[in-house]
């Protein structure tokens, strides 16, 4: 009779996928809120994750919160940046410079427990540190990333010999972009005023264009003489039948093509746009800075960030000593060296940044023993920058291609340099 009794019991089908969701949709608002907030769905889902997956979710969530705040700030404008970050990322007792403290502490705990973070979570953390523009946050992040990767090479693997040598015959690249642009703007302004004066004066029957015409033709004649005198001088030295022309003084403005050259170069700087050249320059700075172990977050090396890195850097890292300053100088030279290898004229990089660094350090009270010593370190760092850029030419070109696409972040570039791209 037991089997007959079992047959008479009504069968209850188990919940099919989505049944719980349909049941909840039938509840009123108060019942639904109570069910979804009292450790039901979230707790059930979290319990299904392994310990490493729980760390991953939390670590990525903390970093994404910082990036989301940055995205909102960029949409609303820079004026609201601080307010948004303080409201959504940082409590009132925590400075924006230490927003990654919780994420770094979590990564440290993972390292202690031998739980390896995924490549995606580490790259997200690097992007968050780069967004904060804090060298301390970036240094902490990269240090913990290095511990968790357990990989030789990569970040901070490039060492610069402490002994300065081989600088006797080094000629540092020069840049006169300020003077070149000034000459160009001045020349175009004078011509524009003269042509404009003639155009407006055409309405006046008593107007005389003599003065404007003299200035216009004088400007044109100056450029012609500037270019042709040197040719005529060379011809007078070669051909015996021509009278020898007097030599032009070395400091002369006209006669050696210098004025024309400055105006042409200034026009090039004002009008040219070469995205590929800029991407190569930025890629060189990133790759060199990464291998030197610099907690830099800028694709374009500049003296302001370099001085801040030295001044605010940890004393244990030795940034304020000559070794640290040389490493920073190598980073500043990286873009210059890369552009110089392919182009005669520097447009995307600026060799004046190294001199600017020495000037800023002197104002901050960090001075070298002499000005000559500063120049010697500049030449030495230039040599080392050439070596590193030449030895990592393939990596720099590949990073440049990613930057040219317009969507690569600092984390994406680090993923390539560390060989993590296949793990995404």
130: Cβ contacts below 8 Å, ≥ 6 apart: 138, 297, 409, 410, 411
> What is residue 153's predicted lDDT score, i.e. its pLDDT?
67
365: Cβ contacts below 8 Å, ≥ 6 apart: none
CA dist 92 to 74, 89, 232, 386, 392, Å? 22, 10, 74, 47, 44
The mean of the pLDDT values for the chain is 75
Per residue in 213-265, pLDDT tens?
888 887 777 777 666 666 655 655 555 565 555 555 555 555 556 777 777 78
pLDDT band at 329 (very low <50, low <70, confident <90, very high): very high
pLDDT: is 241 or 36 the higher one? 241
> What is residue 336's predicted lDDT score, i.e. its pLDDT?
94
In 3-state terms, what secondary structure has residue 7?
helix
> What is residue 307's predicted lDDT score, i.e. its pLDDT?
85
Among 21-25, 97-101, 204-208, 309-313, the range scoring the smallest mean pLDDT is: 21-25
Q: CATH topology for 275-423?
A: Methane Monooxygenase Hydroxylase; Chain G, domain 1 (1.20.58)
**Alpha-carbon span 229 to 161, nearest angstrom:** 49
This prediction has a pTM of 0.74
Check residue 247 and report its DSSP letter: P
Comparing CA positions, the residue from 299, 325, 328, 297 lying closest to residue 396 is 299
pLDDT: is 80 or 44 the higher one? 44
Check residue 99 and report its DSSP letter: T
> What is residue 76's predicted lDDT score, i.e. its pLDDT?
58
pLDDT band at 1 (very low <50, low <70, confident <90, very high): very low
What is the average pLDDT across 193-212?
Answer: 78
In 3-state terms, what secondary structure has residue 124?
helix
> Taking the domains of the chain in order of start, what are their residue ranges?
44-149, 177-271, 275-423
Percentage above 70 pLDDT, the chain? 71
């Amino acid at each position: 009779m037991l089997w007959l009794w079992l047959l008479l019991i009504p069968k209850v089908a188990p919940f099919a996928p989505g049944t719980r969701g349909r049941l909840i949709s039938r509840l009123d608002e108060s019942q639904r809120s109570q069910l979804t907030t009292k450790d039901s769905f979230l707790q059930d889902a979290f319990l299904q994750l392994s310990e490493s997956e729980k760390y991953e979710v939390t670590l990525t969530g903390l970093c994404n919160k910082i990036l989301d705040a940055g995205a909102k700030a960029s949409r609303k404008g820079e004026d609201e940046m601080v307010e948004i970050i303080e409201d959504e990322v940082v409590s009132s007792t925590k400075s924006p410079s230490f927003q990654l403290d919780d994420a770094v502490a979590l990564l440290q705990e993972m390292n202690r427990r031998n739980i390896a973070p995924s490549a995606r979570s580490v790259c997200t953390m690097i992007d968050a540190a780069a967004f904060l523009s804090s060298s301390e946050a970036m240094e902490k992040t990269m240090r913990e990333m290095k511990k968790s990767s357990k990989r030789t090479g990569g970040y901070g693997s490039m060492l610069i010999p402490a002994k300065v040598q081989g600088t006797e015959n080094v000629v540092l690249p020069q840049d006169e972009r300020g003077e070149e642009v000034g000459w160009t703007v001045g020349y175009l302004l004078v011509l524009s005023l003269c042509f404009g004066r003639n155009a407006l004066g055409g309405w006046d029957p008593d107007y005389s264009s003599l003065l404007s015409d003299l200035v216009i033709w004088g400007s044109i004649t100056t450029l012609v003489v500037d270019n042709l005198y040197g040719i005529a001088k060379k011809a007078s030295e070669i051909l015996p039948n021509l009278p020898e022309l007097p030599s032009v003084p070395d400091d002369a403005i006209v006669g050696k093509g210098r004025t024309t050259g400055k105006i042409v170069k200034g026009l090039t700087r004002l009008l040219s746009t070469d995205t590929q050249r800029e991407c190569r320059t930025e890629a060189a700075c990133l790759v060199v800075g990464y291998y030197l172990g610099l907690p830099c977050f800028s694709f374009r090396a500049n003296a302001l960030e370099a001085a801040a890195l030295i001044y605010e850097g940890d004393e244990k890292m030795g940034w304020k000593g000559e070794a640290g300053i040389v490493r920073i100088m190598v980073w500043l030279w990286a873009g210059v060296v890369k552009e110089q290898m392919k182009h005669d004229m520097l447009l995307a990089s600026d060799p004046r940044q190294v001199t600017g660094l020495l000037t800023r350090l002197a104002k901050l009270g960090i001075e070298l023993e002499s000005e000559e010593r500063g120049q010697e370190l500049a030449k030495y760092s230039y040599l080392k920058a050439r070596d590193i850029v030449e030895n990592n030419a393939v990596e720099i070109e590949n990073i440049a291609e990613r930057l040219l696409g317009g969507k690569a972040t600092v984390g994406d570039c680090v993923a390539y340099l560390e060989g993590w791209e296949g793990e995404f």
